[in-house]
Amino acid sequence: MQLKHRPLRQQYSRIIDKAPGFRCSGAWPDAESALANLPGNLTDVVLMDINLPGMSGVECVARLKQLLPGVNIIMFTVYDDSDLIFRALENGASGFLLKRTAPVDLLRSIEEVNTGGAPMTSHVARLVVQSFGRHKSSREAPENLTQREEEVVCIVSQGLINEEIADQLDITVETVRQHLKNISIKLHVRSRTEATMKFHGHL
């Protein structure tokens, strides 16, 4: 967890540690400390402040994904800046929440991103949708995806998690994971959110 404000950092740490099935493996006030310590931790999900002192959260996402490609990163922000949101997503962030997110929604988002989802508050999701509308592209979808891979990435765009995708396409969850891996390789992206953005011509 990377939050610059100590009270908020301590509050979220306590919430996570007290929740059954959750554990906070570390909390740091800046990107530099997190990058030095996180690779040695068994971490599935990172909560990161977009406005960190020193190196920004946006840059830290890119650095962290290079060190830990499989880690899921949820960004915290108080900003309405869609450019910052898109830069973080492009760098590999998997979700976006506002700092006023309720504890129950925070825990639900951690579970969601850990099972292949891309949690976003409705406010942030609306910013993303509005930005898509302003930057419509005439580019066609990449031709190197198979028909099934295109089906998977289209369903991912609807916000469904792997289990829901498997049910809708009548395939196994493991097959969904393999399709997502192939899509990431072919589109040269680092997250499912980035894959949907690139597939629809927004990257």
Instruction: Give tens-digit pLDDT for 150-163.
Output: 889 888 877 778 88
Closest CA to 77 of 108, 26, 120, 129: 120
How far lies 44's CA from each of 11, 58, 68, 170, in Å? Answer: 20, 19, 10, 28
Write the class of the CATH domain 6-133. alpha beta
**Higher pLDDT among residues 81 and 60, named by residue:** 60
> In angstroms, rounded to a whole number, what is the distance separating the alpha carbons of residues 168 and 35?
39
pLDDT interval class at 134 (50, 70, 90): low
> SS3 breakdown of the chain: % helix, strand, coil, rounded to 5?
55, 10, 35
Closest CA to 96 of 104, 108, 85: 85
pLDDT interval class at 132 (50, 70, 90): low
Match 């295109």 to its residue by tokens.
150
pLDDT interval class at 139 (50, 70, 90): very low
**Higher pLDDT among residues 183 and 202, named by residue:** 183
Residue type for 12, please?
Y
Per-residue pLDDT averaged across 164-183, rounded? 90
Candidate CATH numbers 3.30.930.10, 1.20.1250.20, 1.10.10.10, 2.40.128.110; the one for domain 137-199? 1.10.10.10
Which residues of the chain are in CATH 3.40.50.2300 domains? Answer: 6-133
For 67-92, the pLDDT digits (tens) are: 998 899 999 887 666 778 888 888 88
Which residues of the chain are in CATH 1.10.10.10 domains? Answer: 137-199
How far lies 153's CA from each of 21, 132, 157, 170, in Å? Answer: 30, 16, 6, 15
Question: In this model, does residue 138 exceed pLDDT 60?
Answer: no
pLDDT for 73 equals 93
